[in-house]
Amino acid sequence: MKMLNLFIVSDSIGETGELVAKAAISQFRPGLQHTKLKRFPHIDSIDHIKEITELAKEQNAIILYTLVQTNMRDALIECCKQYQLESVDLIGPVLNLLENSLGEKPFEEPGLVRKLDEDYFKKIEAIEFAVKYDDGRDPRGLLQADIVLIGVSRTSKTPLSQYLANKRYKVANVPLVPEVEPPEELFQIDPAKCFGLVITPEKLNFIRKERLIAIGLNDDASYAKIERINDEIKHFDKVVRRIGCRVIDVTNRAVEETANEVINHIFKNN
C-alpha cells in the first residue's frame, strides 16, 4: 500500500484542515493506515511557507492549507509551483465565493472562528455559574465570582445575575434577611466587586404585594408590610457598611440600566 504523506498548513491551529484531511483519507483508508499527517499551525510569515514547502518536497508530501490571508495563500501557491507539489486550498475558494456574493471584503484575521467558540463557551459557563450560585445557595461561589450582588428579597438580584452572565461575568447573589447572618465569605471578597441593590420601601411594598397575589396568597402577609420592609432595609444598610461596597438604587430602574452601571464600575476598577 502506497504511503500517503500530508502536511496541514494553517494560520490558526489547523484543526479544520486536519478534520477535512481525515474525512477524505477515511474514504480510502478507514484506519488511516500508511498515512502520515503533520500539522503546521500558526504560520504567519512567507519564510515559514518556504521552509514548509522545501520540507514537503523532500518528503514527497501533499499540502492542504487553510490560510485566510490572500498574500499567504499566493505565496504558498507559488512555492508549490516552484517545487511541483500537489496542494489543496481548503478555504480560499469559499472566501472568494462569499466575497463576490456579499460584495464585502473578508477580515483576513486568523482564528476568528475559534475566538467566537471561546466567547460562546465563556457565556455558557457564566450562565451555569449564575444558576448554581443564585440566591445564596452555596457561599463558596462568592470567592470565585466576578460580581457579587446583595439585597433584600425582590430587588431583581436573579434577573440582574442572568443578564450579567450573558455578558460573560460570573455572578453570585445573596439575599439579606435580619434573621440570618450573612455568610462569612461575603466579608472576605474584594468590596469593589460587590454591589448592594436597594429600593424604596413603598416600591418594594407594592412589588411584594403583587408577588403574593400572583402566587395566590393574601397580600397583607408580614413579608409585604412596610414595618417588615424597613427592618430588612436597616439590616441591609448595616451589612453594606460592613463590606464597604457600592450601593445601587434599583427603584424604577430597568435591569439593563443597573447592569450598565455595574459593568462600568467593574471596568473602571480593573
Which of 86, 110, 134 is at the close of a domain?
110
pLDDT given for residue 157 in this prediction = 97
**Single-letter amino acid code for the residue at 257:** E
Q: Is 153 annotated as a binding residue?
A: yes
Assess whether 28 and 58 both reside in one domain. Answer: yes
Contact indicator for 255, 156 with CB cutoff of 8 Å:
yes
pLDDT given for residue 118 in this prediction = 82
Q: Is 12 annotated as a binding residue?
A: no
pLDDT given for residue 149 in this prediction = 98
The CATH number for 198's domain is 3.40.50
**Single-letter amino acid code for the residue at 187:** F
Which of 63, 91, 110 is at the close of a domain?
110
Sign of CA dihedral 181, 182, 183, 189: negative
Number of domains in the chain: 2
Short-list 173, 177, 172, CA closest to 152: 177
Q: Is 157 annotated as a binding residue?
A: yes
Q: Is 155 annotated as a binding residue?
A: yes
**Single-letter amino acid code for the residue at 205:** N
Q: Is 92 annotated as a binding residue?
A: no
C-alpha cell belonging to residue 239: 451589612
* pTM for this predicted structure: 0.65
Show pLDDT as tens, one digit a residue, over the chain (270 residues): 889 999 999 999 998 999 999 999 999 988 888 899 999 999 999 999 999 999 999 999 999 999 999 999 999 999 999 999 999 999 999 999 999 999 999 999 998 887 777 888 899 999 999 999 999 999 999 999 999 999 999 999 999 999 999 999 999 999 999 999 999 999 999 999 999 999 999 999 999 999 999 999 988 899 999 999 999 999 999 999 999 999 999 999 999 999 999 999 998 877
pLDDT given for residue 91 in this prediction = 96
pLDDT given for residue 75 in this prediction = 97
Assess whether 216 and 240 both reside in one domain. Answer: yes
| Structural domain range at position 9 | 4-110
pLDDT given for residue 30 in this prediction = 85
Assess whether 254 and 124 both reside in one domain. Answer: yes
pLDDT given for residue 117 in this prediction = 78
Which of 82, 110, 138 is at the close of a domain?
110
Q: Is 70 annotated as a binding residue?
A: no
